Amino acid sequence: MKQIIRAVGAGMLALSMLSLTTGAARADDKVTLGVAIPTADHGFTGGIVWWANKAKADLEKAHPDLKVIVKTAANAPEQANQLQDLVTVNKINALVIFPYESASLTQPVAQVKKKGVYVTVVDRGLTDTSAQDAYVAGDNTAFGKIPAEYLAKALGGKGDIVALRGIPTTLDNERWTAFTGVLKNYPNIKILDAKYANWNRDDAFKVMQDYLTRFKHIDAVWAADDDMAVGVMKAIDQAKRTDIKIVFGGAGSKGMVKNVMDGAPLIQADVSYSPKFIYDAIKLTAEARLKGDKLPPTTIIPSVLITKENAKEFYFPDSPF
């Protein structure tokens, strides 16, 4: 797996050297790059904020002609307002944005692009791709497909599942489509319900409490995020339910990976999806724009199954996530 990570990193570095412009490339003397991301309201976004600020520190030190401005937003309207400030006040000529939501941020981002700002969208895609120049994300199809395949095998092709989705975004739709696409091949596995829990522990706790009240038998839970899985586990523990065999989260947080390593009864596996891709997206965009280059339209970072056999390769106890 370490070789895969090195290969991906080398490949992304190579991509940063690549110009895909249709006309003559023009290097900007100075690049002012805005970074618009959600606030650290749960573990994954905490990782996003940490990696974004690390990218700012590392890249400004390496490139004197680069200025990186990091803005965090607690909701979609706040992020939209920040985009206006980044353009009018900070005079950015490049933007890396992790949209708080897909649909509501598409038009504000499109307005930024119309002003001549180069736009890289990360993870939560926009509903209209013409509003962006490049897209960098983890493999959301694998993020949904891998848990479905694992659960189908672990349950022997039959059982009752409940699911907790994230926030209404294109990436959540990709994950859900992939997850349900696999389970269509298993007619004896029934998805009892699927509700949004906003990638949030407290929301997931409430959703899972509702499931436990309504459904007297549940075989497995797909909580499509490790933070939500924490809330799910708390609800199961409080209800003292023993029918549930597996809780499958997602993103490879250090807490969940440690559970996999330690052989926790319900947490048997996870799927990787590191918030470090915000660092990669900022680095790729900054170095490309300093050269007057563009990125490929899409860069996807692989997601893989984490089990007890390979969990040590994904366990980073000093990381924020």
Kindly list the averaged pLDDT for each block of 10 residues, start to end, along the chain of length 321: 38 40 47 97 88 96 97 97 97 97 95 98 93 94 98 98 93 95 98 96 98 98 96 98 97 94 96 91 97 95 94 84 83
CATH 3.40.50.2300 assigned to domain 2-139+274-303? The reply is: yes
Q: 299 phi and psi, to 5 degrees?
A: -125, 120
Domain 140-271 listed as CATH 3.40.50.2300: yes
Distance CA 120, CA 136 (A): 7
161 closest CA partner among 200, 215, 238: 215
CA–CA gap between residue 222 and residue 104 (Å, rounded): 27
Q: What's residue 42's pLDDT?
A: 77
Compute the distance between CA of residue 37 and CA of residue 33 in angstroms, rounded to an integer.
13
Domain borders along the chain are 2-139+274-303, 140-271
C-alpha span between 157 and 208 (Å, rounded): 23
Instruction: Express the helix, strand and coil content of the chain in percent, nearest 5 each.
Output: 45, 20, 35
Q: Is the fold of 2-139+274-303 the same as that of 140-271?
A: yes
Report d(CA 154, CA 295) in Å as an integer.
40
pLDDT given for residue 248 in this prediction: 98
Q: Identify the pLDDT of residue 25.
A: 36
pLDDT given at position 214? 98
